[in-house]
């Protein structure tokens, strides 16, 4: 409409000039239209109409929050020679506010004004942010509209650094230190406070190095199990050259180690649970390994020998459910086999084979008496012990590395990861089946997990470098707090 008004004025002027015998001097100043507004920036078009040579010592626009222009913002464009359009621009305005604007010209010391037009600055808007989950120091992008130069962003109580603003619509933000695990993101644009409806989730999890293995050896292909007295790890081989014949027990309260003599024959690649230990290799020479069939009951610090296993077991998965022991797969014999031990009768039964082959390199855990195991393609399988049914229920989102990762349950969440040559670990909510990444563990790229345990809501993880990394490196025991900041 304003353009039409200006064009109409122009036409009237041209008509008036053409139809008069004597040329009349005319000067008309028009505040023509608002070209652009944002929350803090305004751009206005004005036009000077005249049929004479004219020189202005200054021209531009007045803007004010009231029509009387009591405290105007003045956009001065300086000297102007002759008629034509002019554009003024200024920033520093308040968002979501009505302003009045009029063109001005200084003609020989006399200030003259054009017509008054009304404009309104825009309101800031937030649309989305990405990522919705991340680490301190990572970059986040916040999308929206009409951000000002003095925009501020808060993650809970922590203010984030804004490194860049693109086109008043894209904020580049550095994720600040955490003031909580799940925090709201608040964007302040001048006097407007905008908050996203969904909280940002920090990637969390802290590791504390609490001890080292009591001997200066690197053991491989060992067993580990947990008793009331402490965390137990041992057997296997010393640098794959000789058998390690002992079991060492760590007492969490005193942070002390003590040796548990094992009365059975030495072995590597054996299976172990809280109550049972068995199988493995009776020799050090592979291709093929000599199989160890002996089978033991663990009763706190004591070991009771049971009847030998009626099958080969080398790197099998073992778990307990409803008082029975299950031994799954392995790297010798029937790699699909599933066997069940009844402690009341002392007998084994052979259950239907698993749909894919599994062994100790596949991370696994037990929840509500059912087995969860991740295959070599990262598929998550559920074995329901009551029905004997296998179901493919999801996909592990992390790296499988070279296998041999941990799987451990705390409450209704499972923690999976820390495979060989992998430092990451993921949390699986066993109600929603949603995966969440946790903070990485420190160490060497060649590290792998030797043992893992759960106690009082914490994970206890033993890690050391694989045999390809030469040198004298200890086996470190870490305490992992999944909710630590």
Domains of the chain: 2-120 (2.60.40.380), 125-202 (2.60.40.10), 206-481 (2.120.10.80)
**Cβ contact 338:385 at 8 Å:** no
- Name the helix (H) or strand (E) containing 8: helix 2-18
Q: In the chain, which stretches have pLDDT less than 70?
A: 1-25
pTM given for the model: 0.78
Q: What is the rounded CA–CA span in Å between residue 64 and residue 36?
A: 17
Task: Decide if 185 contacts 128 (C-beta within 8 A).
Answer: no
Residues 205/482, Cβ–Cβ less than 8 Å: yes
**The pLDDT of residue 303:** 96
Output the CA–CA distances (angstroms, integers) from residue 385 to 57, 326, 370, 389, in the order listed.
Answer: 92, 10, 6, 7
Q: Is the separation of the CB atoms in 420 and 467 below 8 Å? A: no
Q: Cis check for the bond before 131: say yes or no (omega within 30 of 0).
A: yes
Q: Which residues are within 8 A (CB) of 290 and not within 5 positions of it... i.e. 6 or more apart?
A: 281, 282, 283
- Give the model's pLDDT for residue 25: 62
pLDDT tens profile 164-217: 999 999 999 999 999 888 999 999 999 899 999 999 999 999 999 999 999 999
> For the purposes of burial, counting CB atoms within 10 Å of the CB of 22, is it exposed (0-12), middle (13-18) or buried (19 or more)?
exposed
Q: What is the DSSP string of 204-226?
A: --EEEEEEE-SSS--EES-EEEE
Name 98's bridge partners: 120
Question: Cα-flanking dihedrals φ and ψ of residue 451, to 5°?
Answer: -160, 160
For residue 210, which of 249, 248, 259, 252 has the smallest C-alpha distance?
Answer: 252
């Amino acid at each position: 409409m304003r353009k039409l008004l200006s064009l109409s004025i122009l036409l009237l002027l041209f008509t008036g000039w053409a139809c008069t015998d004597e040329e009349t001097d005319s000067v008309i100043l028009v505040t023509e239209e608002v070209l652009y507004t944002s929350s803090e920036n305004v751009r206005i078009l004005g036009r000077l109409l005249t049929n004479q040579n004219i020189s202005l010592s200054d021209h531009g626009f007045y803007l004010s929050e009231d029509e009387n222009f009591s405290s105007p913002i003045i956009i001065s464009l300086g000297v102007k020679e002759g008629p034509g359009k002019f554009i003024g621009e200024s920033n520093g305005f308040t968002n979501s506010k009505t302003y009045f604007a009029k063109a001005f010209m200084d003609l020989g010391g006399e200030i003259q004004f054009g017509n008054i037009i009304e404009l309104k600055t825009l309101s800031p808007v937030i649309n989305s942010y990405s990522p919705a989950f991340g680490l301190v120091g990572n970059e986040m992008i916040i999308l929206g509209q009409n951000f000002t130069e003095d925009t501020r962003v808060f993650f809970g109580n922590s203010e984030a650094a804004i490194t860049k603003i693109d086109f008043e619509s894209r904020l580049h933000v550095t994720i600040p230190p955490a003031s909580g695990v799940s925090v709201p993101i608040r964007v302040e644009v001048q006097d407007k406070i905008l908050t996203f409806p969904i909280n940002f989730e920090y990637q969390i999890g802290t590791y504390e190095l609490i001890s080292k293995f009591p001997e200066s050896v690197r053991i491989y292909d060992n067993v580990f199990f947990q008793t009331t007295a402490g965390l137990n790890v041992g057997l296997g081989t010393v640098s794959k050259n000789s058998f390690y014949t002992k079991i060492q027990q760590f007492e969490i309260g005193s942070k002390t180690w003590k040796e548990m003599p094992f009365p059975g024959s030495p072995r590597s690649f054996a299976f172990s649970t809280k109550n049972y230990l068995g199988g493995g290799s009776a020799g050090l020479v592979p291709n093929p390994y000599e199989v160890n069939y002996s089978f033991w009951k663990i009763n706190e610090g004591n070991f009771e020998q049971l009847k030998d296993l009626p099958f080969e077991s080398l790197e099998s998965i073992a778990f307990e459910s409803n008082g029975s022991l299950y031994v799954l797969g392995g790297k010798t014999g029937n790699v699909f086999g599933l066997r069940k031990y009844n402690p009341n009768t002392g007998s084994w039964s052979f259950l239907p084979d698993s749909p894919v082959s599994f062994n100790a390199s596949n991370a696994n855990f037990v929840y509500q008496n059912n087995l969860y195991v991740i295959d070599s393609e990262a598929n998550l399988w559920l074995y329901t012990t009551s029905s004997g049914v296998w179901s493919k229920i999801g996909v592990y989102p992390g790296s499988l590395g070279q296998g041999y990762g941990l799987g451990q349950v705390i409450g209704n969440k499972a923690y999976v990861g820390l495979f060989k040559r992998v430092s990451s670990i993921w949390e699986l909510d066993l109600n929603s089946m949603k995966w969440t990444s946790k903070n990485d563990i420190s160490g060497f790229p060649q590290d792998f997990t030797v043992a893992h345990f759960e106690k009082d809501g914490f994970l206890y993880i033993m890690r050391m470098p694989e045999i390809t990394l030469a040198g004298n490196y200890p086996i470190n025991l870490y305490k992992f707090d999944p909710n630590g900041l």
